[in-house]
Amino acid sequence: MRVLVTGGAGFIGRQVHRQLVAEGHEVVVLDSFRADVHARRPEPRPGLIVGDVRDASTVAAAVERVDTVIHLAAKVGLGVHLDDIDDYVSSNSLGTAVLLKSLGSVRRLVYASSMVVYGEGRYDCAVHGQVAPGPRRTEDLDAGRFEPPCPYCGAPLSPGLVTEDARLDPRNTYAATKLHGEHLAAAWARETGGRVTALRFHNVYGPGMPRDTPYAGVASVFRSALDRGTAPRVYEDGRQRRDFIHVHDVATAVTAATAALPDQPPSIVYNVGTDSIHTIGDLAAGLSTIYNGPEPVITGQYRLGDVRHITASSASLRADLSWKPTHTLTTGLADLLTADPPATDCS
């Protein structure tokens, strides 16, 4: 199978590329080599197209003779400030729209979405059952009250694993554009007879993580601090629950999704996580240990666009595509140290 991977030179894209090649596929990579992610912009070569997914002529050339498209290209991260909003919308929403318009005879798309589309994860109240907490309030966060209360009685809530049918509540610009991309891809599938699988990645880490950029994930930010010999700075109280998944396991989920199931609906969504719960403080402490660095600092600071708890149920992905993760957080962090030693280049 001939596969186009947009964003194929990025952190996840490189691992997906390697996995596709290992499975015997022919791969074409389209990547713009954004300056906020890559230190260098290479010359085009066979199998690599250097260009922007928002450029229709570039995309049209990239999809020639392609059977499947894996769309990873995006501006990622929470967003540093509101001045980024137009770049997120242009890079992610417009980029996806241009790609979809240019697909021609391609009828198979795998779209990289994110767990951020949920906003907060699943919560249960002992009295009111499953509830959706409201937006976090600055007065609570300033006072160190980080746990969301029941919106009906104010009682403490029990967080759980979120499933794909959960309420969607994107709470920052990046989240809004990823959900918009899901909707655009679903519309493309309905109108063309194509099939799209949207994969909601949870917190991805592993060899090749970007370094020294505010747009990286939390694992990258902590590792960059340790590279500089400084302590990881953990927001809130460090007890935020997350599902950390190794990039190799994400890549095998992506390649599994390239094979359309005979009874698959035009559009389907899967969580991609480990179903294992760890805290952001756990991650910071684990990285400090393997890098023999200073202990994390719990700052009590917060970002209003963050959510408190979001952990995944990937039961549907496991059942439908016979996929399962191979790394625990312990083995994954050990792999990070051996495969990706400290450095200063973010390319």
pLDDT at 346: 31
Residues, the chain, total?
Answer: 347
pLDDT at 213: 65
pTM of the model: 0.93
Structural domains in the chain plus CATH codes:
2-121+162-336 (3.40.50.720), 122-161 (no CATH)
pLDDT at 345: 34
Q: CA 84, CA 86: separation in Å to the nearest integer?
A: 6
Q: Which residue has the tokens 């009874």?
A: 263
Q: Is 50 helix (H, G, I), strand (E, B) or coil?
A: strand
Give the N- to C-terminal CA distance of the chain in Å, as an integer.
29
Backbone angles phi, psi at 36, to 5 degrees: -85, 0
Q: Is 167 helix (H, G, I), strand (E, B) or coil?
A: coil
Do the Cβ atoms of 92 and 172 come closer than 8 Å?
Answer: no
Instruction: Centre a 10 Å sphere on the Cβ of residue 70 and count the other Cβ atoms it contains.
Output: 28
Q: How far, CA to CA in Å, does 312 sit from each of 89, 166, 201, 269, 270? A: 26, 11, 9, 13, 10
pLDDT at 215: 57
Sorted by sequence, the CB contacts under 8 Å of residue 322 that are 6+ apart come out as 256
Do the Cβ atoms of 131 and 151 come closer than 8 Å?
Answer: yes
Parallel, antiparallel or unpaired: strands 108-114 and 195-201: parallel
> Going residue by residue through the chain (347 aa), what tens digit of pLDDT does each one get?
999 999 999 999 999 999 999 999 999 999 998 877 776 777 778 899 999 999 999 999 999 999 999 999 999 876 556 788 999 999 999 999 999 999 999 999 999 999 999 999 999 999 999 999 988 899 999 999 999 999 999 999 999 999 999 999 998 899 999 999 999 999 999 999 999 999 999 999 999 888 766 556 889 889 989 989 999 999 999 999 999 999 999 999 999 999 877 678 999 999 999 999 999 999 999 999 999 999 999 999 998 878 999 999 999 999 999 999 999 999 999 888 887 654 433 33
Burial 263-277 (b: 16+ CB within 10 A, else e): eeebbbbbbbbbbeb
Enumerate long-range contacts of 41-45, CB under 8 Å, 24 or more apart: none
